Structure 1
Amino acid sequence: MSYQPLLLSFDEAETLSLELSKDTLIGRGLRRDIKKVDAYIQEIGIEVPRQHGEAGGYEHNRHKQNYIIMDTAARLFLITKNDAYRAFIVDMLTEYATVYPTLEDNTSRDTNPPGKLFHQTLNENMWMLYSSCAYSCVYHTLSDSQKTLITDNLFKPMIHMFVVTYGHDFDIVHNHGLWAVAAVGICGYAIGDQESVDKALYGLKLDRTSGGFLAQLDNLFSPDGYYMEGPYYHRFSLRPIFIFAEAIERRQPDLKIFEYNNSIIKTTSYAVMATAFPDGSLPALNDSSKTISINDEGVIIATSVCFKRYEQNDTLVSMANHQQDVWVHSSGAALSTAVEQAEEIKPFSWGSILLTDGPKGEKGGVSILRHRDAQDDDTMALLWFGQHGSDHQYHAALDHGHYDGLHMSVFNRGHEVFQDYGFGRWVNVEPKFGGRYIPENKSYCKQTVAHNTVVVDQKTQNKFNTALAETKFGKKHFFEVSDEKLQAASATIEGYYDGVDMQRSILVADLEEFEKPLVIDVYRILSDEEHEYDLPFHIKGQIIRTDFDYTAAKKLTPLGADNGYQHLWKLGEGQVEGSALVSWLHDSSYYSLVSSAPKGGKVIFTRLGANDPDFNLRTEPGFILRQSGSNHVFASVLETHGHFDESFEVSENAHGLISTVTILADNADATVVQIETVTGSVYRFGLSNRSSDGQNTEHSVETSEGVFSWSGAVSIL
């Protein structure tokens, strides 16, 4: 038979049928899908809403589940040859072909134009992509009249909507545009419309540059594969990329799509995978969910296809073992076999990595430091200094960027220790602002105080102005990871606040005396004028102790009036001088942050939830280091220590070892930080403040403890 389905050939389906009874990732995935589809057919059957409902409401979810189940049932039909799956798909598509012409346009709930099924065309794109894949699996069983009905009443009108009615959005280089071109291309292949495929590949002008899939692959990602909107939207882009690429490879192999632009599909997949925390969750850079992880469908598809199309490396095997899933596809079967045959599978780790941002890698980036101990426990520290993360230049409402230059996140012992809030949104929870972004996403989540980075004069970076923020990005200062005992990353930002420049350095130091590597944070602020500097740390857990006196608030009041401060309850504050320790318990681990504290410093304890009448925000604790001055350095050290087990009534090493952190010297040449412990040990670290071309020469700094010399960007003295 000359005709083949888009993503799975008949021969591949036959081979996959042999996996049905096996206790493997692919075997369990097949049986899971069979159970899900059988239940849907029995309990729901053919139901196509004939009216519009709330955004994220019943009608939305029914249309969404219909395309998901059709796509899954279609592959199962090829694999199992169960005609009930074929009948379900044919009946469902026939019903849609009957209903679709009768529907008026939906009502847009934001600036994204509406479809006929959904409140935004993005969801309509997704519906057509998956439904077209399903159609291609049953195409060879349809009569000519069935093909004509489904094509003329359903798929062609949808294509016309995307490339004509909303043609102005079709060519935008953005995740919405990516879904649009993939949907039209997939549908074009499915119904034999090569003209539409060409528009999807090369853009409406067919010039390969103004739009289309190839232009998306050329412009969406940095040379290191990083996507400007961050991991949350990056992982969302992987589905259309891989599904369309698989179809292209099978229908137009001469394009060599998986090799296109120096194999950018592999590069960008590895980039989003490499940002993941050790528990698989993705960092909440820009508008991001806290619950999205490498178990996302797009990452699972990418892991499977990369393993088959690119390289059979151990990290992808570790990824699949963590996901405990593969794509139900021939590529997933290959990865499943590798997992089954592996003698030992370590937890996945992409190692320490620097990912540049911007189409030419010229707009900052993100540095990630990773350390694995003898128990395979991973410590990870992330320093963010990329571009704003907005597609405002293409669409005024597509600003997913946060004002968080030099933000830091830390993860160890299975938890995000210093965390980012992520976005303010209850996805598809209709009672919560229709499942869209809540007002607090702007009033808190995007604001600088919501992140672990310095706030100047209680104002948000770049004046909370998207157009201004899009002109700014950070710069790498150094990135040193050759020594596993001392890894370091440093970056700078300039002009995010008028007249204030900043440099932040993060060190991960594996010192024998400590249970876990220390995370050392050195934050330099340079200004000719006096300012108030706040460095917030957003944590989870319960405050256990401090080494300074503080006054608890008798009455809760907001910490400020705007810029996110209005959402923080002030729980208490204490004056600090010399050094300040705050210790807290999260799950079974103790954490202590010890910070340098010149005279006049404060520590302010906060809890999120003020001015939140609809209970939209999570209630989370934090504390702020506050200092006034012109030039200033915050030097802080995070120590992970001890163990708590309430079931056995065990609490060990609840105090930790660090007693003080002191800045011995700071000038244009270098900064020297000293850490003292309760055991009498002293550790000193030298960090270069020179530009990159002068960092590897000799440094010599005079301090109250003597003269210290070293070569390189960073050193233990």
Structure 2
Amino acid sequence: MTYKPLLISFEEAALLREDLGKDTLMGKALARDIEKLEAYMAEVGIEVPGHGEGGGYEHNRHKQNYIHMDIAGRLFLITENQAYRDYIRNLLVAYAKVYPSLELNVSLDSNHPGRIFHQTLNENMWMLYASCAYSCIHHTLNDEERKLIENDLFQIMADMFVDTYAHDFDIIHNHGLWAVAGVGICGYAIQNQALVDKALYGLKGDSVSGGFLAQLSQLFSPDGYYMEGPYYHRFSLRPIHLFAEAIERRQPEVGIFAHKDSVIKTTTYAVMSTAFPDGTLPALNDSSKTMDINDEGVLIGTSACFGRYDEDANLLAMAAHQQDVWVHISGKKLSDAVAKEASIPAFNWGSLFVTDGPNGDKGGLTILRHRDTNNEDTMALLWFGQHGSDHQYHSALDHGHYDGLHLSVFNKGQEALHDYGFGRWVNIEPKFGGRYIPENKSYCKQTIAHNTVVVDRKTQNEFNTALAESRYGELHFFKTDNAEFQGMSGIVREYYQGVDMQRSVLVAKVDGIENPLVIDLYRLITEDEHEYDFPVHHKGQIIRTDFDYDANTSLKAMGPDNGYQHLWQLAQGKVQNGSLVSWLHGNAYYSLVSSATNGGEVIFARTGANDPDFNLRSEPAFVLRQKGKSHLFANVLETHGYFNESIEASVDARGKVASVEALGMDAVASVVRLHLIDGQALTFAVSNQTAGKQDEAHSVTFNGEAYSWEGPYAQL
């Protein structure tokens, strides 16, 4: 059989060549890659550094080498520029000459080291991309060059993964995905089918205990969700799509794109559909706040799904947002489709419930989306899935956060109620070697760092990974048939001993109020007395309150542990029947209007306490504090007005909701009343019944007033 490049054929390269110099997405991608590669080749040339500190020069040079080899491989086939071929050949030969004599690197944590990187994950990535590049120039090399590169580089590298580190090769985990994809693509590149088979079917060959097919079958929920969250999920898309493309081209009989009901499409869509309207990915578990749909994995997935599955309008919208495509025949197909459209609306994946767990039975997340007539998007996300830990892979790599029933809200082009994300200095070697900072555990993972209730100033599930992994939430209701009045609700049980929690969120468009209201009813069920803290993490400047507070001239931390030690207590004020806190963020005003029962307290705080190395970002929060037994936090987030300092404009700085009253709560329902500044009163009810009864008729009486409705929630 004639040797063929792995991911792009000679015929496809000729088609891509047609976009050179064109003002298409593909043309722009090619121009960018050519400029990037030419600059790197001129600046660096052929350099194979030795060992260095994690995240340091040597690490990044090895990384940039494989990135640019991969670019050079495709560009050689497309442009036929011999310099790109020579660059790959010379760099691979340089690596092959030193690789056999390199000792294992020094691991900086619990990960196993490679010969050029501190952890094998990076070496898997190097092998995958370098193998793709090698396949693009294989037909131009002589036998001696092939023998050197294959025997003294790729084969030794692959043997390390399948033999030396065999105990990790079959792990069902995102690191495992990179391992099998790297070995499989390498096997195809050097024509070693035995390596490919190990990568496809696992070391035992059963497609269950390990291998790519097992990864695809076991790693994701039926809705495609990955337990560690979108940040790690998007990282898995690259090896999935690159290996799948190679499999389809070399072994189409495997039917990889149809495997497990087209799980590759399902899991790719699961990442895309959780994105905020500005393209950023929500911070669930350890997550970067800057990660968005321009990530390489999502970019490849957008083009690949358009080429291998459906020509979905949302994929066109994704590409228009990304302003980029994968340099591949699928990317050209998508680029051509975008070029034919006069205008493309912003992507809108709609409201959705995504299950968690391999069988879809370990909770999940719900998202409500509302797009108004001005194409302004509001999105609310409620999280109640399983603990996002890869504890099964290694106890030291627990990426899970303890934040059941966390809520994020996005509108006016920004995250209004936000999550801190992870505490990590990525590839900035002077600051902790690019690793997770100590405050990731002491603050970022703690419940107080999220928008969910903290009981007795403790973290959910006792900050115990094994305990957290044994629990997960459940969907209470999810109803989106009326785009102007949508609702979602989740329940977690025993995350605090003796306390069950139910959170119900309604997104309601109300006449006379410009933006949808986010009505948030957080119910705590217990027979014991507790202190409840409801943290609200926001950005921007506090504008006003409707209660008095005392600012602290001498700062102290809010508490000694469980994340409280990292929050400066800036001010505090007592409240009787409720509270209103308003702030300005960007060009919009936000007001959180809250009920209070038997008085309460509002505490203003900011991160940065007990942080001697200045690792934490300085961000504001305020905490609603209540004491009692079973309790209902009734809150309304109103987005209102417009602010533009450059033209000295401020409109509707004060919202329409004046106060919120919790009328009553029991095992059947919770009922609240919103009082507007014009004297109107709006009454809302949600069902607290389970086992399907939440869809039935409800009737409750609180303080002598009867309320009746049918369904999980209603405006009465």
- Tell me which interval the TM-score lies in, with the shorter structure as reference length: over 0.9
Residue aligning to 1:253: 252
Residue aligning to 1:167: 166
Residue aligning to 1:40: 40
Q: Secondary structure at the match of 2:39?
A: helix
Residue-by-residue CA offset, 1:205-260 (whole Å, 9 max, x unaligned): 11110000000000000000000000000000000000000000000000110000
**Cα shift at 1:394:** 2.5
- Cα contact 1:290–1:421 (8 A) shared by 2: yes
Q: C-alpha distance in 2, partners of 1:330/1:62?
A: 29
Q: C-alpha distance in 2, partners of 1:361/1:207?
A: 24
Q: Secondary structure at the match of 1:272?
A: helix
**Cα shift at 1:705:** 7.5
Which blocks of at least 5 consecutive residues in structure 1 are unaligned?
none
Residue aligning to 1:638: 637
Residue aligning to 1:11: 11
Give the letter for the 1:450 counterpart. Answer: A
Residues 1:287 and 2:286 are matched in the alignment: yes
Residues 1:372 and 2:376 are matched in the alignment: no
**Cα shift at 1:431:** 1.6
Residue-by-residue CA offset, 1:360-396 (whole Å, 9 max, x unaligned): 0010000000000111110000000000011102211
Residue aligning to 1:29: 29
- Cα contact 1:592–1:640 (8 A) shared by 2: yes
Worse-matched range after superposition: 514-523 or 688-697: 688-697
Residue-by-residue CA offset, 1:524-560 (whole Å, 9 max, x unaligned): 0011110100000100000000000101111110000
Between the aligned residues of both structures, percent identity stands at: 65
- Cα contact 1:662–1:673 (8 A) shared by 2: yes
- Cα contact 1:581–1:592 (8 A) shared by 2: yes
Runs of 4+ in 1 over 3 A off after TM superposition: none
Residue-by-residue CA offset, 1:95-127 (whole Å, 9 max, x unaligned): 000111121110000111000110000000000
Q: Secondary structure at the match of 1:205?
A: coil
Residue-by-residue CA offset, 1:171-196 (whole Å, 9 max, x unaligned): 00001000000000000000000000
- Cα contact 2:317–2:346 (8 A) shared by 1: yes
**Cα shift at 1:86:** 0.2
Give the letter for the 2:230 counterpart. Answer: P
Q: C-alpha distance in 1, partners of 2:392/2:215?
A: 15
- Cα contact 1:447–1:460 (8 A) shared by 2: yes
Residue aligning to 2:419: 420
- Cα contact 1:658–1:676 (8 A) shared by 2: yes
**Cα shift at 1:342:** 1.4
Within a 5 Å distance, the mapping from 1:271-350 to structure 2 comes to 271-350=270-349
**Cα shift at 1:318:** 0.3
Residues 1:389 and 2:395 are matched in the alignment: no
- Cα contact 1:478–1:692 (8 A) shared by 2: no
Q: C-alpha distance in 2, partners of 1:497/1:708?
A: 32
Within a 5 Å distance, the mapping from 1:477-496 to structure 2 comes to 477-496=476-495
**Cα shift at 1:706:** 2.9
Q: C-alpha distance in 2, partners of 1:552/1:9?
A: 68
Q: C-alpha distance in 1, partners of 2:272/2:397?
A: 24
Q: C-alpha distance in 1, partners of 2:14/2:396?
A: 47
**Cα shift at 1:707:** 1.6
- Check 1:647–1:654 CA distance in 2 against 1; reply closer, same or farther (3 A cut): same
- Cα contact 1:664–1:705 (8 A) shared by 2: no
Q: Secondary structure at the match of 2:64?
A: helix
Residue aligning to 1:593: 592
**Cα shift at 1:479:** 0.3
TM-score (norm 2): 0.99
Q: C-alpha distance in 2, partners of 1:393/1:136?
A: 35
**Cα shift at 1:701:** 1.8
Residue-by-residue CA offset, 1:265-288 (whole Å, 9 max, x unaligned): 000000010100000000000000
- Cα contact 1:546–1:583 (8 A) shared by 2: yes
Give the letter for the 2:664 counterpart. Answer: A
**Cα shift at 1:665:** 1.6
Residue-by-residue CA offset, 1:375-430 (whole Å, 9 max, x unaligned): 11100000000000111022112210000000000000001001000100010111
Residue aligning to 2:92: 93
**Cα shift at 1:708:** 1.6
Q: C-alpha distance in 2, partners of 1:87/1:52?
A: 25
Residues 1:668 and 2:680 are matched in the alignment: no
Q: C-alpha distance in 2, partners of 1:66/1:103?
A: 17
Give the letter for the 1:53 counterpart. Answer: G
Q: C-alpha distance in 2, partners of 1:53/1:393?
A: 30
Within a 5 Å distance, the mapping from 1:531-542 to structure 2 comes to 531-542=530-541
Within a 5 Å distance, the mapping from 1:262-273 to structure 2 comes to 262-273=261-272
Q: C-alpha distance in 1, partners of 2:639/2:384?
A: 25
Within a 5 Å distance, the mapping from 1:423-434 to structure 2 comes to 423-434=422-433
- Cα contact 2:446–2:563 (8 A) shared by 1: yes
Residue-by-residue CA offset, 1:59-92 (whole Å, 9 max, x unaligned): 0000000000000010000000000000000000
**Cα shift at 1:696:** 2.1
Residue aligning to 1:513: 512
Residue aligning to 1:622: 621
Q: C-alpha distance in 2, partners of 1:479/1:159?
A: 47
Within a 5 Å distance, the mapping from 1:549-588 to structure 2 comes to 549-588=548-587
Q: C-alpha distance in 2, partners of 1:109/1:190?
A: 31
Q: C-alpha distance in 1, partners of 2:2/2:412?
A: 54
Q: C-alpha distance in 1, partners of 2:263/2:130?
A: 27
Q: C-alpha distance in 2, partners of 1:121/1:514?
A: 55
Give the letter for the 1:37 counterpart. Answer: L
**Cα shift at 1:567:** 0.1
Residue aligning to 1:178: 177
Within a 5 Å distance, the mapping from 1:120-199 to structure 2 comes to 120-199=119-198
Residues 1:67 and 2:66 are matched in the alignment: yes
Give the letter for the 1:320 counterpart. Answer: A
Worse-matched range after superposition: 264-273 or 391-400: 391-400
Q: Secondary structure at the match of 2:389?
A: coil
Worse-matched range after superposition: 389-398 or 318-327: 389-398
Q: Secondary structure at the match of 2:205?
A: coil
Q: Secondary structure at the match of 1:453?
A: coil
- Cα contact 2:687–2:713 (8 A) shared by 1: yes
Residue aligning to 1:200: 199
Q: Secondary structure at the match of 2:556?
A: strand
Q: C-alpha distance in 2, partners of 1:567/1:249?
A: 51
Q: Secondary structure at the match of 2:505?
A: strand
Q: C-alpha distance in 2, partners of 1:117/1:515?
A: 57
- Cα contact 2:569–2:604 (8 A) shared by 1: yes
Q: C-alpha distance in 2, partners of 1:566/1:164?
A: 46
Q: C-alpha distance in 1, partners of 2:691/2:233?
A: 30
Q: Secondary structure at the match of 2:359?
A: coil
TM-score (norm 1): 0.99
**Cα shift at 1:515:** 1.1
- Cα contact 1:576–1:599 (8 A) shared by 2: no
Residues 1:398 and 2:425 are matched in the alignment: no
Q: C-alpha distance in 2, partners of 1:591/1:627?
A: 22
**Cα shift at 1:704:** 4.0
Residues 1:467 and 2:466 are matched in the alignment: yes
Q: C-alpha distance in 1, partners of 2:602/2:190?
A: 65
Q: C-alpha distance in 2, partners of 1:449/1:7?
A: 47
Q: C-alpha distance in 1, partners of 2:595/2:145?
A: 74
- Cα contact 1:29–1:326 (8 A) shared by 2: yes
Give the letter for the 2:298 counterpart. Answer: V
Worse-matched range after superposition: 435-444 or 388-397: 388-397
Q: Secondary structure at the match of 1:449?
A: helix
- Cα contact 1:665–1:701 (8 A) shared by 2: no
- Cα contact 2:577–2:599 (8 A) shared by 1: no
Give the letter for the 1:671 counterpart. Answer: S
Give the letter for the 1:239 counterpart. Answer: R
Residues 1:103 and 2:93 are matched in the alignment: no
